[in-house]
Amino acid sequence: MVNTVPSLLSARDLRTGYRSGAKRIVVADGLPELRLQPGQLVCLLGPNGSGKSTLLRTLAGLQPALGGTIHISGVERWTPAELARKISLVLTDRVRGNNLTVGSLVALGRYPWSGWLGGLNAADKASIAWAIRATGIGPLLERKLHTLSDGQSQKVMLARALAQDTPILMLDEPTAHLDLPSRIRLMRLLHQLARETDKGILVSTHELDLALQIADEVWLLQTGGQLRSGAPEDLVLNGSLESAFAEEDVAFDKVSGHFLIYTPQDKPVRLTGEGIAFVWTRRALQRAGYEPVSAAGREPGASAGREPSASAGREPVSAAALHIRVEERQGRTVWLLERGAETGEFDSIQKLLQAIARK
């Protein structure tokens, strides 16, 4: 299927970096072939300093590649003015006030299409109106840029890029500075745009959770400049994600698709039960420094509700001195703690944790 649809963008043997006088500082070298298809949302992931922005800026034509070729719609050489009709950008650069209103900023997106004095025709105005509708910034049009919140500001910059009406849209860390709901909304909007407008969208982001959920393809940059691409699920399953962030002292949990804040410890606790209460008990125990192990002989996924226990079978259950059972009694959740012959009963996770700590 990939071969029947022409690529919007393809890059081969790309080497990214900077020229500084005669010196060349290479950021990433020998990148595999990268392709962006119409209607596809690609997330560019990678730790800080892995060269995400450099790659994005190179693909966008803002800085020259140190080697390799980039084809846009099958053509390699573009003048800046032609390229501006192919690729629009949302950058991390903060656009300051300058007395600029939201309306004028979005209208500036028509720059590559408008006349030599910047006059706008009906087609320009239609594009602007569509961009404003798609991003829902209608109520902000008269506002000055410096009065916007970070979330509003990001939407406005997206509207400007949409007004530019290009087949390719690239965004450099658009979710930085946004709160969680805004991040989700923005990513969902990008997902919708890719589906509905057939644009090829490339987003560099740190939002691993969100990227894994919505990306059609993930380009995973590693510190040192290697890049692996594939469906997000494939990258989780083949361990690429784990190894990309391995140098940092945080662990990626393949099962939940999250990064773990705590460092895994070796205090085994036997945990049995089911449902959502089981999942959250497991998390609480992990936070408190325990390694929850499920009962031996059980199918891990069967009892653990939607989220099976990650460490099932890894630790010998017999090594656990504690056994915690999560039970449902008359619509209430009860936690039973067995320590040798003793048995305690608790009605909240907090009390359970206090009891364990007291031992």
The residues binding other proteins (CB under 8 A) are 57, 60-62, 79-85, 87-89, 91, 93, 95-101, 103-105, 107-112, 114, 116-118, 120, 125, 128, 141-142, 144, 146-147, 164
The residue among 112 and 275 lying less far from other proteins, judged by its C-beta, is 112
What lies within 8 Å, CB to CB, of 27 at 6+ separation is 16, 17, 18, 51, 54, 55, 225
Count of CA atoms in the C-beta half-sphere (13 A) of 92:
13
Question: For 43, phi and psi rounded to 5 degrees?
Answer: -105, 130
Q: Closest distance between other proteins and the C-beta of residue 82, in Å?
A: 8
The residue among 19 and 195 lying less far from other proteins, judged by its C-beta, is 19
Q: Closest distance between other proteins and the C-beta of residue 96, in Å?
A: 6
The residue among 31 and 91 lying less far from other proteins, judged by its C-beta, is 91
Return the beta strands (E) in 205-331 as ranges.
217-221, 227-230, 251-253, 258-260, 268-272, 291-294, 322-329
Q: Closest distance between other proteins and the C-beta of residue 107, in Å?
A: 4
The residue among 91 and 349 lying less far from other proteins, judged by its C-beta, is 91
The residue among 95 and 355 lying less far from other proteins, judged by its C-beta, is 95
The residue among 171 and 322 lying less far from other proteins, judged by its C-beta, is 171
Q: Closest distance between other proteins and the C-beta of residue 229, in Å?
A: 24
The residue among 82 and 233 lying less far from other proteins, judged by its C-beta, is 82
Q: Closest distance between other proteins and the C-beta of residue 119, in Å?
A: 8
Show contacts of 56-63: CB within 8 Å, 24+ apart.
56/170, 56/172, 56/202, 56/204, 57/172, 58/14, 58/16, 59/9, 59/11, 59/34, 59/170, 59/202, 60/87, 60/89, 60/170, 61/87, 62/89, 63/18
Q: Closest distance between other proteins and the C-beta of residue 154, in Å?
A: 14
What ranges in the chain are assigned the alpha helix state H?
52-59, 80-83, 102-108, 122-135, 150-163, 180-197, 208-214, 232-237, 240-244, 275-287, 300-303, 349-358
Q: Closest distance between other proteins and the C-beta of residue 72, in Å?
A: 13
